[in-house]
Amino acid sequence: MKLIYKFILVIITSVAFFACSEIADDISTPQEKVNIHPEGFAVAGSAGFHSVYLKVTKWDLAKCQSCHGSNYAGGTTGASCVGCHTGPSGPEACNTCHGIFANPERTAPPTDLDGNIASTSPGVGAHSKHIYDNDLGPAMGCYTCHPAATPTSGSYVAAHIDDGVAEVQFNLFSQPGVSPDSNFSALYGFADNKCSNVYCHGAFEFYKDSAATANKWVYTSAKMSGNFVEPLWTAASGNTEAACGTCHGLPPTGHMPFPLNSCVSCHASVINGSGEIINKLLHINGEINLN
């Protein structure tokens, strides 16, 4: 009887061994790593490119950091973002979302958040003319037209991103020398893409009572003022809204009449005898610059 039990045990053990061996042979080893991103996530121009995803998620970079690390250098994934985002701020650089990605010196549109580069697009408009190609006055900074968001915690990037259009709040009357009475309501019209009552396009007043005694003679009225022009932000290239005499008369209203080539007599640090601006830092700066 014992011999029979031993024989049966050997049979059962053998069957189990060969059965398990057969199952083990059928187990396949995964050939690819698990990927939570859609196809084309790292391919520029693809419908699944990560910039498309980030726009949909309102540029929530915290989700990227949860896997790639707070410094985007790899984190738990081992896949670094800073191989492409090589600037000091990595993916949080300004030109990641707008401006020119390949040029960290160009952080303002074009290109805008929708990929537009034409000035007729509100997101592009006249950014370049005011910031990079301003031949008539000092280059403007972001905070000149956009309010500064100072976060209590976290980064500025997270603080200023939301799901609406960019806020516009002109800060153009902080320059020294601008009359305190020049409290025009500077506005940007989102409906017509026009600026109104902005100092840099003629909304200024310089009062005779505030002028030095030696300079009062040049006033023909109680104040000098500009033309209060309403420039179109989305004007196509070639517009004449920045032409000399557009923002203020030649000379300004309230100033004794003189030809353009005579301006150099009193404003030689700003303009030459041909009526050309020679020092843009002294033009549209909130002051009357005299020799």
pLDDT digits (tens, 9 = 90+) for 148-182: 766 665 667 777 877 778 888 887 654 444 544 45
pLDDT in the model for residue 121: 94
Q: Which of 115, 121, 106 is nearest to 233 (CA)?
A: 121
Q: Contact 40/50 with Cβ under 8 angstroms? A: no
| Percent of residues, the chain, with pLDDT higher than 90 | 35
Residue 224 φ/ψ, nearest 5 degrees: -105, 140
CA–CA dist 187, 269 (Å, integer)? 32
pLDDT in the model for residue 120: 93
Mean pLDDT of the chain: 81
CA dihedral 8, 12, 13, 15 (to 10 degrees): 140
| pLDDT tens-place string over residues 61-111 | 888 999 999 999 988 888 899 988 988 889 989 998 899 998 989 999 999
CA angle, residues 140, 238, 146, in degrees to nearest 5: 25
| pLDDT tens-place string over residues 220-276 | 999 999 988 889 999 876 556 778 888 999 999 999 999 999 999 999 999 999 999
pLDDT in the model for residue 241: 75
User: Is residue 111 reached through a cis peptide bond, with omega within 30 degrees of 0 on the bond before it?
Assistant: yes
Strands 205-207 and 223-225: antiparallel
Which residue pairs from 244-247 have beta carbons closer than 8 angstroms and sit at least 24 positions apart in sequence? 244/275, 246/201, 246/202, 247/200, 247/201, 247/202
2 pLDDT band (50/70/90 cuts)? low
Type of residue found at 202: G
Q: CA quadruple 80, 112, 37, 155: dihedral positive or negative?
A: positive
CA–chain centroid gap for 268, Å, is: 35
Give the helix, strand, coil percentages of the chain, each rounded to 5.
30, 5, 65
